[in-house]
Amino acid sequence: MKNLLARPIVRLLLAVVIAVVIIVAPISSSSFINYQLSLIAVFAVALLGLNIVMGYTGQVSLGQSAFLGLGAYIAAYGVRQEWPVVVIFLLCCIIPAAVGLLVALAAARLRGLALAMVTIALPIIGVPLAKRFPDFTGGSVGSTVSWLEAPEGSGLADDQFRYYLVVAIAVVLFILGRNLVRGRIGRAFAIVKSNEAVALSMGISPYRYKVLAFTIASLFGGASGFLYIAVVQYTSPETLSFATSINLVAAMVIGGSASILGTVLGAIYFVMLPVVAGQIDSSRTALISGAALLLVLFLLPGGLVSLPRRIAQLVRGGRGGSPRSRAAADRPPTGDTAPRTTAAPEAEKQPR
């Protein structure tokens, strides 16, 4: 299966199939399904930002919902002021990014628990702040907009039009994000996560790259706030609540940390789990969500994205050996582990 996926032609075909599914999906679906699919795209963007700072760069961020909320409020305000859509979108990116940059300039000096505390403060301060400025935010009631109706003559329903708009923006942002986490910048993020001393010796300032990762995360958070207003047409202090941040972190881990595909899976989980759990038993939604969370973490510590690898492991080597050897490979190499791996690769290396 892995070899098959490595072939360019297979990858191309797969990409075409996925593209066709994405384009065809909303045509015959109900508006409820289109709404859910659009929400997946919305939260995928927020999760991508979170994954860049937390999954790829290893910096705890429990404040992503604050940027989502900020973006949503800016968009709602912009709609009320009847600004052009493009201007609103740009402001939804730039203002949260600027706020994120300012916070990161101070916060990126911290690590671990101290950093987590600073990022927690963002949604915790954000909620009362949003209630305090009703002229801008609509206070505790929130603000509703009526926006982005399908252009006449397009033949699209509003939900279909919004779906295409949101998915198109999300796809572009995902391409940019993917470009960032590969190559020069991505390698720098990865070494800042795993070893700052080595990063320094490569001419990489960990501080700068942490600030960069936070800024990008805030930008993506703000952009997802714009998409949120495009789909939901309503925002309230609830959008940026701390609980949303925690759920985003859970979704990121469940989808797959430091993985683009995992980010999409995480967004599907984030949006669909409450829906599915509500259908099973609407009075025990939280309980079912919690159970699902534990189940995934227990069976797939690498997230949903590691499912094919995990299945391959189980098929190949039984249950005992493989997970342990993977854990060993994740550990940094030390002198005393020498006998573990020396023999086989040596034999591989000699011939030729």
Q: Bridge-partner residues for 234, per DSSP?
A: 144
- Point out which span in 40-48, 226-234, 260-268, 331-339 binds another protein (CB under 8 A): 331-339
C-alpha dist (Å) from residue 165 to 72, 85, 231: 16, 12, 10
Please say which residue, 17 or 198, places its beta carbon nearer to another protein: 198
If one asks whether residue 320 binds another protein (CB under 8 A), the answer comes out as no
If one asks whether residue 1 binds another protein (CB under 8 A), the answer comes out as no
If one asks whether residue 337 binds another protein (CB under 8 A), the answer comes out as yes
What part of residues 168-207 is at the interface with another protein (CB under 8 A)? 176-177, 179-180, 183-185, 187-188, 190-191, 194-195, 197-206
Q: Is 310 strand, coil or helix? A: helix
Please say which residue, 120 or 304, places its beta carbon nearer to another protein: 304
Please say which residue, 136 or 207, places its beta carbon nearer to another protein: 207
Give the C-alpha separation, 48 to 223, whole Å.
Answer: 11
Give the C-alpha separation, 129 to 139, whole Å.
Answer: 9
If one asks whether residue 341 binds another protein (CB under 8 A), the answer comes out as yes
Q: How far is the CB of 186 from another protein (least distance, A)?
A: 8
If one asks whether residue 90 binds another protein (CB under 8 A), the answer comes out as no
If one asks whether residue 111 binds another protein (CB under 8 A), the answer comes out as no
Lay out the site mask for another protein across 277-316 (x = CB under 8 A, - = otherwise).
Answer: ----------------------------------------
Q: How far is the CB of 51 from another protein (least distance, A)?
A: 15
Please say which residue, 284 or 340, places its beta carbon nearer to another protein: 340
Q: How far is the CB of 341 from another protein (least distance, A)?
A: 5
If one asks whether residue 216 binds another protein (CB under 8 A), the answer comes out as yes
**Directed axis angle between helix 31-50 and helix 260-280, to 10°?**
130
Please say which residue, 154 or 342, places its beta carbon nearer to another protein: 342
CB 266 within 8 A of CB 254: yes
Q: Which two tokens stand for residue 124?
A: 């915790």
Residues contacting 267, CB < 8 A, separation 6+: 40, 41, 43, 44, 47, 251, 255
Look up residue 203 and give its DSSP letter.
T
Strands 234-235 and 143-144: antiparallel
If one asks whether residue 212 binds another protein (CB under 8 A), the answer comes out as yes
Residues contacting 326, CB < 8 A, separation 6+: 313
Q: How far is the CB of 159 from another protein (least distance, A)?
A: 31
C-alpha dist (Å) from residue 244 to 50, 146, 256, 347: 12, 24, 18, 52
Q: How far is the CB of 56 from another protein (least distance, A)?
A: 12
- Point out which span in 58-66, 113-121, 262-270, 326-334 binds another protein (CB under 8 A): 326-334
Burial (CB count within 10 angstroms: exposed 0-12, middle 13-18, buried 19+), residue 260:
buried
If one asks whether residue 322 binds another protein (CB under 8 A), the answer comes out as no
C-alpha dist (Å) from residue 318 to 2, 303, 306, 325: 19, 20, 17, 12
Q: How far is the CB of 172 from another protein (least distance, A)?
A: 11
Name the site residues for another protein (rule: CB under 8 A): 176-177, 179-180, 183-185, 187-188, 190-191, 194-195, 197-206, 212, 216, 329-330, 332-335, 337-338, 341-342, 345-346, 348-349, 352
